[in-house]
Structure 1
Amino acid sequence: MDATVSSASLDFWVPSQEAWANSKKRVELPNGMSMAYTDFGDPSGAPLLLIHGYTDNSRAWSLNGPYLRGRRLIAIDLRGHGQSSVTDTYSVDELANDVALFIDKLGLGKIDVAGHSLGSITAQVLAAFYPDKVNSIVLVNSTLKVNAGPGEFLWDTVMDLSYPLDPDGALMSEWFWNPTPIDPTFLHYSIQEAARTDERTWRGVLRALSTTDLAPIQSLIKAKVMIIWGDLDPLFDLGSQEALRAVHPDAEILTIEGAGHNPNWEHPEKVAKAILRFLAR
Protein backbone atom coordinates (compact mmCIF):
# COMPACT_ATOMS: atom_id res chain seq x y z
CA MET A 1 0.00 0.00 0.00
CA ASP A 2 1.08 3.61 -0.57
CA ALA A 3 -0.12 4.90 2.77
CA THR A 4 -0.68 3.91 6.34
CA VAL A 5 -4.28 3.98 7.51
CA SER A 6 -4.21 4.21 11.29
CA SER A 7 -7.74 2.93 11.88
CA ALA A 8 -10.28 0.66 10.28
CA SER A 9 -11.85 3.76 8.75
CA LEU A 10 -10.43 5.78 5.88
CA ASP A 11 -11.54 8.91 7.74
CA PHE A 12 -8.14 9.06 9.41
CA TRP A 13 -5.20 8.78 7.02
CA VAL A 14 -1.45 9.18 7.46
CA PRO A 15 0.92 8.68 4.51
CA SER A 16 3.59 6.04 4.92
CA GLN A 17 7.23 7.08 5.04
CA GLU A 18 7.68 5.69 1.53
CA ALA A 19 4.73 7.69 0.20
CA TRP A 20 5.32 10.88 2.17
CA ALA A 21 7.16 12.99 -0.42
CA ASN A 22 4.66 12.17 -3.16
CA SER A 23 1.68 12.94 -0.92
CA LYS A 24 2.48 16.63 -0.76
CA LYS A 25 0.32 19.35 -2.24
CA ARG A 26 1.47 22.79 -3.28
CA VAL A 27 0.02 26.29 -3.06
CA GLU A 28 1.24 29.56 -4.57
CA LEU A 29 1.37 32.43 -2.08
CA PRO A 30 0.79 36.13 -2.91
CA ASN A 31 4.45 36.92 -2.15
CA GLY A 32 5.62 34.61 -4.93
CA MET A 33 6.52 31.70 -2.67
CA SER A 34 5.46 28.19 -3.59
CA MET A 35 4.73 26.28 -0.38
CA ALA A 36 4.44 22.50 -0.18
CA TYR A 37 2.42 20.82 2.53
CA THR A 38 0.95 17.49 3.61
CA ASP A 39 -2.76 17.42 4.48
CA PHE A 40 -3.62 14.30 6.49
CA GLY A 41 -5.38 13.03 9.59
CA ASP A 42 -9.15 13.54 9.92
CA PRO A 43 -10.38 15.80 7.09
CA SER A 44 -13.44 16.81 9.12
CA GLY A 45 -11.45 17.67 12.27
CA ALA A 46 -10.35 21.09 13.48
CA PRO A 47 -7.09 21.99 11.71
CA LEU A 48 -3.77 21.76 13.51
CA LEU A 49 -0.88 23.41 11.68
CA LEU A 50 2.47 21.65 12.17
CA ILE A 51 5.80 23.40 11.57
CA HIS A 52 9.08 21.51 11.37
CA GLY A 53 12.63 22.35 12.45
CA TYR A 54 15.79 23.50 10.68
CA THR A 55 16.59 21.41 7.54
CA ASP A 56 13.54 19.18 8.15
CA ASN A 57 10.21 19.25 6.30
CA SER A 58 6.61 18.17 6.83
CA ARG A 59 7.79 14.57 7.36
CA ALA A 60 9.06 15.71 10.78
CA TRP A 61 5.50 15.31 12.14
CA SER A 62 4.76 12.00 10.43
CA LEU A 63 5.50 9.89 13.52
CA ASN A 64 3.03 11.90 15.59
CA GLY A 65 0.28 11.76 12.99
CA PRO A 66 -1.29 8.41 13.98
CA TYR A 67 -1.77 9.67 17.56
CA LEU A 68 -3.24 13.10 16.75
CA ARG A 69 -6.66 11.61 16.22
CA GLY A 70 -9.67 13.78 15.52
CA ARG A 71 -7.67 16.61 13.99
CA ARG A 72 -7.05 17.67 10.43
CA LEU A 73 -3.26 17.83 10.28
CA ILE A 74 -1.55 20.27 7.95
CA ALA A 75 2.23 19.98 7.99
CA ILE A 76 4.06 22.55 5.89
CA ASP A 77 7.50 22.81 4.30
CA LEU A 78 8.99 26.16 5.31
CA ARG A 79 10.69 28.17 2.57
CA GLY A 80 13.87 26.47 1.41
CA HIS A 81 12.88 23.17 2.99
CA GLY A 82 11.38 20.05 1.47
CA GLN A 83 9.57 20.96 -1.73
CA SER A 84 8.96 24.66 -1.03
CA SER A 85 10.67 27.51 -2.88
CA VAL A 86 14.33 28.20 -2.11
CA THR A 87 15.19 31.86 -1.47
CA ASP A 88 18.20 33.88 -0.38
CA THR A 89 16.75 35.23 2.87
CA TYR A 90 15.22 33.44 5.86
CA SER A 91 14.38 35.94 8.58
CA VAL A 92 11.91 34.68 11.17
CA ASP A 93 9.57 37.50 10.13
CA GLU A 94 9.60 36.16 6.55
CA LEU A 95 8.99 32.60 7.74
CA ALA A 96 6.01 33.71 9.84
CA ASN A 97 4.63 35.84 7.03
CA ASP A 98 4.77 32.86 4.68
CA VAL A 99 2.75 30.85 7.19
CA ALA A 100 0.22 33.65 7.66
CA LEU A 101 -0.28 33.87 3.88
CA PHE A 102 -0.63 30.09 3.75
CA ILE A 103 -3.34 30.11 6.44
CA ASP A 104 -5.27 32.73 4.47
CA LYS A 105 -4.76 30.95 1.15
CA LEU A 106 -6.27 27.73 2.51
CA GLY A 107 -9.01 29.62 4.35
CA LEU A 108 -8.14 27.97 7.66
CA GLY A 109 -9.25 30.85 9.86
CA LYS A 110 -7.94 31.01 13.43
CA ILE A 111 -6.14 27.75 14.18
CA ASP A 112 -3.91 25.85 16.57
CA VAL A 113 -0.21 25.63 15.76
CA ALA A 114 2.54 23.27 16.92
CA GLY A 115 6.16 23.94 16.05
CA HIS A 116 9.43 22.15 16.72
CA SER A 117 12.74 24.02 17.09
CA LEU A 118 12.85 26.47 14.13
CA GLY A 119 9.15 25.76 13.71
CA SER A 120 8.52 26.78 17.31
CA ILE A 121 10.40 30.04 16.76
CA THR A 122 8.27 30.65 13.67
CA ALA A 123 5.14 29.86 15.70
CA GLN A 124 6.08 32.47 18.30
CA VAL A 125 6.50 35.16 15.66
CA LEU A 126 3.28 34.10 13.94
CA ALA A 127 1.33 34.33 17.21
CA ALA A 128 2.90 37.70 18.05
CA PHE A 129 2.41 39.44 14.70
CA TYR A 130 -0.73 37.67 13.48
CA PRO A 131 -2.78 37.05 16.65
CA ASP A 132 -5.99 36.84 14.63
CA LYS A 133 -4.73 33.60 13.08
CA VAL A 134 -3.62 31.66 16.18
CA ASN A 135 -5.65 30.09 19.01
CA SER A 136 -2.91 28.12 20.74
CA ILE A 137 0.77 27.38 20.19
CA VAL A 138 2.70 24.30 21.21
CA LEU A 139 6.44 24.96 21.40
CA VAL A 140 8.54 21.80 21.20
CA ASN A 141 12.17 22.33 22.25
CA SER A 142 12.02 26.04 21.76
CA THR A 143 13.90 29.14 22.88
CA LEU A 144 13.79 32.93 22.80
CA LYS A 145 17.28 33.22 21.41
CA VAL A 146 19.54 30.79 19.54
CA ASN A 147 23.27 30.70 20.23
CA ALA A 148 24.05 30.48 16.54
CA GLY A 149 26.73 33.11 15.86
CA PRO A 150 30.45 32.75 15.12
CA GLY A 151 32.21 30.62 17.73
CA GLU A 152 29.10 28.57 18.44
CA PHE A 153 28.68 24.93 17.41
CA LEU A 154 25.99 25.55 14.81
CA TRP A 155 27.81 28.37 13.04
CA ASP A 156 31.22 26.76 13.04
CA THR A 157 29.77 23.49 11.75
CA VAL A 158 27.37 24.72 9.07
CA MET A 159 29.39 27.58 7.61
CA ASP A 160 32.40 25.34 6.90
CA LEU A 161 30.46 22.58 5.14
CA SER A 162 30.91 21.64 1.49
CA TYR A 163 27.62 21.31 -0.39
CA PRO A 164 25.81 19.20 -1.43
CA LEU A 165 26.16 17.14 1.71
CA ASP A 166 26.90 13.45 1.91
CA PRO A 167 23.90 11.70 3.53
CA ASP A 168 26.28 9.00 4.77
CA GLY A 169 28.81 11.48 6.15
CA ALA A 170 29.71 12.17 9.75
CA LEU A 171 27.73 15.41 9.89
CA MET A 172 24.41 13.80 9.05
CA SER A 173 25.02 11.11 11.63
CA GLU A 174 25.71 13.76 14.27
CA TRP A 175 22.91 16.06 13.06
CA PHE A 176 20.30 13.34 13.53
CA TRP A 177 21.67 11.83 16.73
CA ASN A 178 19.10 11.26 19.47
CA PRO A 179 19.46 9.66 22.92
CA THR A 180 16.38 7.53 22.20
CA PRO A 181 16.19 5.23 19.14
CA ILE A 182 14.18 6.68 16.24
CA ASP A 183 12.10 4.82 13.66
CA PRO A 184 14.80 3.78 11.14
CA THR A 185 12.71 4.27 8.00
CA PHE A 186 11.74 7.78 9.08
CA LEU A 187 15.37 8.50 9.90
CA HIS A 188 16.60 7.26 6.53
CA TYR A 189 14.29 9.52 4.53
CA SER A 190 14.84 12.49 6.85
CA ILE A 191 18.62 12.27 6.46
CA GLN A 192 18.39 11.97 2.68
CA GLU A 193 16.12 15.01 2.47
CA ALA A 194 18.20 17.14 4.84
CA ALA A 195 21.35 16.34 2.85
CA ARG A 196 19.62 17.62 -0.30
CA THR A 197 18.62 20.90 1.36
CA ASP A 198 20.06 23.85 -0.55
CA GLU A 199 23.21 25.57 0.70
CA ARG A 200 21.32 28.89 0.74
CA THR A 201 18.86 27.42 3.24
CA TRP A 202 21.48 25.86 5.51
CA ARG A 203 23.42 29.12 5.73
CA GLY A 204 20.57 31.58 5.38
CA VAL A 205 18.55 30.21 8.29
CA LEU A 206 21.62 30.23 10.49
CA ARG A 207 22.47 33.83 9.62
CA ALA A 208 18.92 34.84 10.48
CA LEU A 209 18.90 32.97 13.79
CA SER A 210 22.26 34.43 14.84
CA THR A 211 20.65 37.88 15.01
CA THR A 212 17.24 36.87 16.38
CA ASP A 213 15.97 37.63 19.88
CA LEU A 214 12.28 36.99 20.46
CA ALA A 215 12.09 38.35 24.01
CA PRO A 216 10.85 41.83 23.01
CA ILE A 217 7.76 40.49 21.18
CA GLN A 218 6.51 38.01 23.78
CA SER A 219 3.99 40.45 25.22
CA LEU A 220 2.22 40.41 21.85
CA ILE A 221 1.43 36.71 22.14
CA LYS A 222 -2.15 36.25 23.34
CA ALA A 223 -2.54 32.61 22.34
CA LYS A 224 -2.51 29.81 24.89
CA VAL A 225 0.99 28.33 25.19
CA MET A 226 2.32 24.84 25.85
CA ILE A 227 6.06 24.21 26.21
CA ILE A 228 7.48 20.72 25.62
CA TRP A 229 11.17 20.05 26.22
CA GLY A 230 13.53 17.10 26.24
CA ASP A 231 15.89 17.58 29.16
CA LEU A 232 18.93 16.25 27.27
CA ASP A 233 18.61 18.86 24.52
CA PRO A 234 22.18 19.91 23.57
CA LEU A 235 20.98 23.07 21.77
CA PHE A 236 18.32 24.68 23.97
CA ASP A 237 19.24 24.07 27.59
CA LEU A 238 17.46 24.50 30.90
CA GLY A 239 18.34 28.19 30.98
CA SER A 240 16.60 28.66 27.65
CA GLN A 241 13.50 26.95 29.03
CA GLU A 242 13.48 29.03 32.19
CA ALA A 243 13.64 32.23 30.13
CA LEU A 244 10.77 31.04 27.95
CA ARG A 245 8.66 30.00 30.91
CA ALA A 246 9.31 33.31 32.68
CA VAL A 247 7.57 35.24 29.89
CA HIS A 248 4.72 32.70 29.74
CA PRO A 249 3.97 31.95 33.41
CA ASP A 250 0.58 30.45 32.54
CA ALA A 251 1.99 28.06 29.96
CA GLU A 252 1.45 24.33 30.33
CA ILE A 253 4.82 22.61 30.76
CA LEU A 254 5.88 19.10 29.81
CA THR A 255 9.48 18.03 30.40
CA ILE A 256 10.38 14.66 28.94
CA GLU A 257 13.27 13.17 30.86
CA GLY A 258 15.91 11.41 28.82
CA ALA A 259 14.81 12.98 25.54
CA GLY A 260 17.02 15.18 23.42
CA HIS A 261 16.25 17.93 20.92
CA ASN A 262 13.58 15.90 19.13
CA PRO A 263 11.13 14.50 21.68
CA ASN A 264 8.40 14.46 19.03
CA TRP A 265 10.48 11.82 17.21
CA GLU A 266 11.76 10.01 20.28
CA HIS A 267 8.38 9.77 22.02
CA PRO A 268 5.84 10.48 19.26
CA GLU A 269 2.80 9.04 21.03
CA LYS A 270 3.51 10.77 24.33
CA VAL A 271 4.05 14.15 22.68
CA ALA A 272 1.00 13.81 20.43
CA LYS A 273 -1.35 12.85 23.27
CA ALA A 274 -0.02 15.68 25.43
CA ILE A 275 -0.73 18.11 22.58
CA LEU A 276 -4.28 16.82 22.21
CA ARG A 277 -4.95 17.11 25.96
CA PHE A 278 -3.68 20.68 25.95
CA LEU A 279 -5.74 21.69 22.94
CA ALA A 280 -8.85 20.05 24.42
CA ARG A 281 -8.64 22.38 27.40
Structure 2
Amino acid sequence: MSYTDLGNKDNPCLVLIHGLGSFKKSWQLQHSLSQHYRLIIPDLRGHGDSPINYNITLQTMAADIIDLLDSLHIKEASFIGLSLGGIVTQEILHSYPRYVKSTILSNTASILPYWVGKYTVDQRMDKLGNMDDEDYEYLATKNCLHGHYPDSYIHKISNMFLDVNRNTYMQAASAPLGINYTNALIHNSKPMLVIGSIFDKVTPYINTLTTYTLARHAKLKTFYASGHIPNIEEPEEFNNAVLEFLHNIN
Protein backbone atom coordinates (compact mmCIF):
# COMPACT_ATOMS: atom_id res chain seq x y z
CA MET A 1 0.00 0.00 0.00
CA SER A 2 0.89 3.63 -0.36
CA TYR A 3 0.97 5.14 3.13
CA THR A 4 2.55 7.71 5.41
CA ASP A 5 4.15 6.63 8.68
CA LEU A 6 4.75 9.45 11.17
CA GLY A 7 5.82 9.67 14.80
CA ASN A 8 7.68 7.56 17.32
CA LYS A 9 7.21 3.87 16.57
CA ASP A 10 6.99 3.18 20.31
CA ASN A 11 3.90 5.36 20.68
CA PRO A 12 0.36 3.98 20.43
CA CYS A 13 -0.74 3.61 16.82
CA LEU A 14 -3.46 5.74 15.21
CA VAL A 15 -4.69 4.87 11.71
CA LEU A 16 -6.33 7.68 9.71
CA ILE A 17 -8.60 6.62 6.83
CA HIS A 18 -9.70 9.15 4.23
CA GLY A 19 -12.99 9.48 2.37
CA LEU A 20 -14.28 8.89 -1.15
CA GLY A 21 -12.17 10.43 -3.90
CA SER A 22 -9.70 11.64 -1.32
CA PHE A 23 -6.20 10.49 -0.36
CA LYS A 24 -3.71 10.45 2.47
CA LYS A 25 -2.73 14.09 1.96
CA SER A 26 -6.18 15.13 3.21
CA TRP A 27 -5.01 14.38 6.77
CA GLN A 28 -2.03 16.75 6.69
CA LEU A 29 -3.64 19.11 9.23
CA GLN A 30 -3.65 16.15 11.64
CA HIS A 31 0.08 15.46 11.28
CA SER A 32 0.67 17.28 14.58
CA LEU A 33 -0.96 14.30 16.30
CA SER A 34 2.32 12.48 15.60
CA GLN A 35 3.74 14.24 18.66
CA HIS A 36 1.68 11.81 20.72
CA TYR A 37 0.90 8.86 18.42
CA ARG A 38 2.40 6.86 15.63
CA LEU A 39 0.28 7.82 12.63
CA ILE A 40 -0.36 5.36 9.82
CA ILE A 41 -2.14 7.14 6.94
CA PRO A 42 -2.87 4.89 3.94
CA ASP A 43 -4.30 5.51 0.50
CA LEU A 44 -7.30 3.22 0.10
CA ARG A 45 -7.23 1.01 -2.98
CA GLY A 46 -8.41 2.94 -6.00
CA HIS A 47 -7.30 6.21 -4.41
CA GLY A 48 -4.21 8.40 -4.35
CA ASP A 49 -0.99 6.54 -5.07
CA SER A 50 -2.40 3.08 -4.37
CA PRO A 51 -1.14 0.56 -6.95
CA ILE A 52 -4.35 -1.48 -6.57
CA ASN A 53 -7.23 -0.31 -8.76
CA TYR A 54 -9.52 -3.34 -8.90
CA ASN A 55 -11.99 -5.26 -6.70
CA ILE A 56 -12.77 -2.14 -4.66
CA THR A 57 -15.08 -3.19 -1.83
CA LEU A 58 -15.35 -2.40 1.86
CA GLN A 59 -14.02 -5.85 2.63
CA THR A 60 -10.91 -5.50 0.44
CA MET A 61 -10.20 -1.96 1.65
CA ALA A 62 -10.42 -3.12 5.27
CA ALA A 63 -8.27 -6.18 4.55
CA ASP A 64 -5.62 -4.00 2.90
CA ILE A 65 -5.29 -1.94 6.07
CA ILE A 66 -5.06 -5.02 8.27
CA ASP A 67 -2.41 -6.48 5.95
CA LEU A 68 -0.48 -3.22 6.26
CA LEU A 69 -0.64 -3.35 10.05
CA ASP A 70 0.56 -6.96 9.96
CA SER A 71 3.48 -6.01 7.73
CA LEU A 72 4.42 -3.30 10.25
CA HIS A 73 4.00 -5.72 13.19
CA ILE A 74 1.26 -3.56 14.70
CA LYS A 75 -1.15 -5.72 16.68
CA GLU A 76 -3.55 -3.04 17.91
CA ALA A 77 -4.47 0.48 16.85
CA SER A 78 -7.03 3.22 17.18
CA PHE A 79 -8.77 4.17 13.95
CA ILE A 80 -10.11 7.47 12.64
CA GLY A 81 -12.31 7.28 9.56
CA LEU A 82 -14.00 10.18 7.81
CA SER A 83 -16.96 9.64 5.46
CA LEU A 84 -16.14 6.50 3.41
CA GLY A 85 -13.20 6.05 5.78
CA GLY A 86 -15.65 5.87 8.67
CA ILE A 87 -17.50 3.07 6.91
CA VAL A 88 -14.23 1.22 6.29
CA THR A 89 -13.45 1.69 9.99
CA GLN A 90 -16.78 0.07 10.89
CA GLU A 91 -15.96 -2.82 8.56
CA ILE A 92 -12.66 -3.26 10.41
CA LEU A 93 -14.51 -3.18 13.73
CA HIS A 94 -16.93 -5.80 12.39
CA SER A 95 -14.42 -8.14 10.70
CA TYR A 96 -11.16 -7.58 12.63
CA PRO A 97 -12.14 -6.49 16.16
CA ARG A 98 -8.96 -7.82 17.76
CA TYR A 99 -6.95 -5.10 15.98
CA VAL A 100 -9.19 -2.32 17.30
CA LYS A 101 -8.34 -0.42 20.47
CA SER A 102 -10.83 2.38 19.77
CA THR A 103 -12.62 4.05 16.88
CA ILE A 104 -13.42 7.61 15.84
CA LEU A 105 -16.19 7.83 13.25
CA SER A 106 -16.35 11.26 11.64
CA ASN A 107 -19.10 12.53 9.33
CA THR A 108 -20.07 9.07 8.20
CA ALA A 109 -22.99 6.65 8.14
CA SER A 110 -23.70 3.23 9.59
CA ILE A 111 -26.83 2.42 7.60
CA LEU A 112 -27.25 3.16 3.88
CA PRO A 113 -30.24 1.59 2.12
CA TYR A 114 -29.20 0.43 -1.34
CA TRP A 115 -31.56 2.52 -3.47
CA VAL A 116 -31.01 5.69 -1.45
CA GLY A 117 -27.27 5.33 -1.92
CA LYS A 118 -27.61 4.35 -5.57
CA TYR A 119 -29.51 7.56 -6.31
CA THR A 120 -26.70 9.62 -4.76
CA VAL A 121 -24.01 7.69 -6.65
CA ASP A 122 -25.85 8.16 -9.96
CA GLN A 123 -26.09 11.91 -9.33
CA ARG A 124 -22.36 12.10 -8.64
CA MET A 125 -21.50 10.14 -11.77
CA ASP A 126 -23.74 12.37 -13.93
CA LYS A 127 -21.93 15.45 -12.63
CA LEU A 128 -18.51 13.86 -13.12
CA GLY A 129 -19.44 12.89 -16.68
CA ASN A 130 -20.25 16.50 -17.54
CA MET A 131 -17.19 18.13 -15.97
CA ASP A 132 -13.43 17.92 -16.10
CA ASP A 133 -11.60 16.73 -13.00
CA GLU A 134 -10.69 20.19 -11.71
CA ASP A 135 -14.24 21.56 -11.95
CA TYR A 136 -15.74 18.48 -10.33
CA GLU A 137 -13.25 18.52 -7.47
CA TYR A 138 -13.84 22.25 -6.93
CA LEU A 139 -17.64 21.84 -6.73
CA ALA A 140 -17.36 18.72 -4.55
CA THR A 141 -15.02 20.54 -2.16
CA LYS A 142 -17.29 23.59 -2.03
CA ASN A 143 -20.21 21.28 -1.14
CA CYS A 144 -18.16 19.80 1.70
CA LEU A 145 -17.46 23.20 3.28
CA HIS A 146 -19.84 25.29 5.36
CA GLY A 147 -18.22 28.69 5.38
CA HIS A 148 -18.22 31.23 2.55
CA TYR A 149 -14.69 31.19 1.16
CA PRO A 150 -12.97 32.82 -1.81
CA ASP A 151 -12.35 30.65 -4.87
CA SER A 152 -8.61 30.63 -4.19
CA TYR A 153 -9.18 29.04 -0.77
CA ILE A 154 -11.58 26.44 -2.15
CA HIS A 155 -9.07 25.49 -4.85
CA LYS A 156 -6.36 25.21 -2.19
CA ILE A 157 -8.51 22.89 -0.07
CA SER A 158 -9.52 20.91 -3.16
CA ASN A 159 -5.87 20.23 -4.00
CA MET A 160 -5.30 18.95 -0.48
CA PHE A 161 -8.57 17.07 -0.11
CA LEU A 162 -9.60 15.48 -3.44
CA ASP A 163 -7.87 13.54 -6.21
CA VAL A 164 -10.66 11.77 -8.09
CA ASN A 165 -9.64 8.73 -10.15
CA ARG A 166 -12.28 8.31 -12.85
CA ASN A 167 -11.32 4.67 -13.39
CA THR A 168 -12.11 3.67 -9.81
CA TYR A 169 -14.49 6.33 -8.48
CA MET A 170 -17.68 4.47 -9.42
CA GLN A 171 -16.51 1.26 -7.71
CA ALA A 172 -15.49 3.12 -4.55
CA ALA A 173 -18.69 5.17 -4.45
CA SER A 174 -20.78 2.00 -4.81
CA ALA A 175 -18.89 0.02 -2.16
CA PRO A 176 -21.05 1.16 0.82
CA LEU A 177 -24.43 0.61 -0.85
CA GLY A 178 -26.70 -1.44 1.40
CA ILE A 179 -24.50 -1.31 4.52
CA ASN A 180 -26.02 -1.86 7.93
CA TYR A 181 -23.61 -1.97 10.88
CA THR A 182 -26.33 -1.99 13.53
CA ASN A 183 -25.19 -5.29 15.04
CA ALA A 184 -21.53 -4.26 15.09
CA LEU A 185 -22.42 -1.04 16.90
CA ILE A 186 -24.84 -2.59 19.39
CA HIS A 187 -22.34 -5.30 20.34
CA ASN A 188 -19.28 -3.05 20.27
CA SER A 189 -17.22 -3.15 23.46
CA LYS A 190 -14.47 -0.74 22.35
CA PRO A 191 -14.38 3.01 23.12
CA MET A 192 -15.86 5.07 20.30
CA LEU A 193 -16.10 8.76 19.47
CA VAL A 194 -18.78 9.77 16.96
CA ILE A 195 -18.19 13.12 15.22
CA GLY A 196 -20.71 15.03 13.15
CA SER A 197 -21.34 18.52 11.81
CA ILE A 198 -24.64 20.36 11.96
CA PHE A 199 -24.04 21.82 8.48
CA ASP A 200 -22.84 18.62 6.78
CA LYS A 201 -24.60 18.47 3.40
CA VAL A 202 -22.90 15.24 2.29
CA THR A 203 -23.64 13.06 5.31
CA PRO A 204 -26.41 14.85 7.21
CA TYR A 205 -26.18 15.07 10.99
CA ILE A 206 -29.02 12.57 11.46
CA ASN A 207 -26.52 9.88 10.42
CA THR A 208 -24.23 10.92 13.27
CA LEU A 209 -27.07 10.72 15.76
CA THR A 210 -28.11 7.30 14.43
CA THR A 211 -24.59 5.91 14.86
CA TYR A 212 -24.24 7.46 18.32
CA THR A 213 -27.61 6.07 19.43
CA LEU A 214 -26.78 2.55 18.26
CA ALA A 215 -23.22 2.39 19.57
CA ARG A 216 -22.25 1.20 23.00
CA HIS A 217 -19.47 3.04 24.87
CA ALA A 218 -19.76 5.98 22.45
CA LYS A 219 -19.14 9.65 23.02
CA LEU A 220 -20.48 12.41 20.77
CA LYS A 221 -18.69 15.47 19.41
CA THR A 222 -20.66 18.00 17.35
CA PHE A 223 -19.19 20.74 15.17
CA TYR A 224 -21.27 23.87 14.72
CA ALA A 225 -19.17 25.83 12.22
CA SER A 226 -18.11 23.29 9.61
CA GLY A 227 -19.51 21.01 6.93
CA HIS A 228 -18.44 17.53 5.88
CA ILE A 229 -14.73 17.94 6.62
CA PRO A 230 -14.28 19.40 10.12
CA ASN A 231 -10.71 18.04 10.18
CA ILE A 232 -9.91 20.65 7.51
CA GLU A 233 -12.39 23.42 8.30
CA GLU A 234 -11.85 23.35 12.08
CA PRO A 235 -8.58 21.43 12.45
CA GLU A 236 -7.58 22.72 15.90
CA GLU A 237 -10.90 21.78 17.49
CA PHE A 238 -10.91 18.47 15.62
CA ASN A 239 -7.41 17.56 16.78
CA ASN A 240 -8.19 18.56 20.36
CA ALA A 241 -11.29 16.36 20.34
CA VAL A 242 -9.23 13.43 19.08
CA LEU A 243 -6.51 13.94 21.68
CA GLU A 244 -8.97 14.33 24.55
CA PHE A 245 -10.77 11.13 23.56
CA LEU A 246 -7.60 9.09 23.08
CA HIS A 247 -5.85 10.38 26.20
CA ASN A 248 -8.86 9.36 28.30
CA ILE A 249 -8.65 5.75 27.12
CA ASN A 250 -4.88 5.30 27.15
| TM-score, length of structure 2 as denominator length | 0.87
Partner Cα distance (1:185, 1:174) in 2: 10
Which residue, 51, 69, 84 being the options, matches 1:85?
A: 51
- Correspondence for 2:66: 100
| Cα distance change of structure 1 residues 226 and 183 upon mapping to structure 2, 3 Å threshold | farther
Quick check: 1:242 aligned with 2:247? Answer: no
Partner Cα distance (1:137, 1:76) in 2: 16
- Matched-pair identity in %: 24
| Cα distance change of structure 1 residues 222 and 101 upon mapping to structure 2, 3 Å threshold | farther
Partner Cα distance (1:183, 1:40) in 2: 27
Whichever residue aligns with residue 163 of structure 2, its letter is: A
Whichever residue aligns with residue 132 of structure 1, its letter is: R
1:210, distance to aligned residue in structure 2 (A): 2.2
Whichever residue aligns with residue 208 of structure 2, its letter is: Q
Quick check: 1:135 aligned with 2:105? Answer: no
The runs of 5 or more residues in structure 1 that have no matched partner are 1-34
Partner Cα distance (1:67, 1:264) in 2: 12
- Correspondence for 1:190: 160
Give the secondary-structure state (helix, strand or coil) at the position aligned to 1:86: coil
| Cα distance change of structure 1 residues 164 and 133 upon mapping to structure 2, 3 Å threshold | farther
- Correspondence for 2:11: 45
- Correspondence for 1:112: 78
The runs of 5 or more residues in structure 2 that have no matched partner are none
- Correspondence for 2:140: 175
Quick check: 1:151 aligned with 2:116? Answer: no
1:151, distance to aligned residue in structure 2 (A): 3.0
1:17-60 CA-to-partner distances (Å, cap 9, x unmatched) read: xxxxxxxxxxxxxxxxxx10011234442221111111111111
Partner Cα distance (1:264, 1:48) in 2: 15
Give the secondary-structure state (helix, strand or coil) at the position aligned to 1:210: coil
Partner Cα distance (2:34, 2:234) in 1: 13
Quick check: 1:256 aligned with 2:223? Answer: yes
Whichever residue aligns with residue 88 of structure 2, its letter is: T
Give the secondary-structure state (helix, strand or coil) at the position aligned to 1:88: coil
1:260, distance to aligned residue in structure 2 (A): 0.4
Give the secondary-structure state (helix, strand or coil) at the position aligned to 1:113: strand
Contact 2:17 2:86 survives alignment (8 Å): yes
1:194, distance to aligned residue in structure 2 (A): 1.2
Contact 2:189 2:217 survives alignment (8 Å): no
Give the secondary-structure state (helix, strand or coil) at the position aligned to 1:144: coil
Which residue, 219, 242, 247 being the options, matches 1:275?
A: 242
- Correspondence for 1:21: none
Partner Cα distance (2:124, 2:158) in 1: 22
What is the alpha-carbon root mean square deviation over aligned residues? Answer: 2.4
More helix by share: 2
| Cα distance change of structure 1 residues 164 and 151 upon mapping to structure 2, 3 Å threshold | closer
Quick check: 1:203 aligned with 2:173? Answer: no
| Cα distance change of structure 1 residues 99 and 224 upon mapping to structure 2, 3 Å threshold | same
1:166, distance to aligned residue in structure 2 (A): 2.7
| Cα distance change of structure 1 residues 220 and 91 upon mapping to structure 2, 3 Å threshold | farther
- Correspondence for 1:221: 188
Whichever residue aligns with residue 151 of structure 1, its letter is: Y
Q: Relative CO higher for 1 or 2, CA cutoff 8 Å, sep ≥ 6?
A: 2
Whichever residue aligns with residue 175 of structure 1, its letter is: A
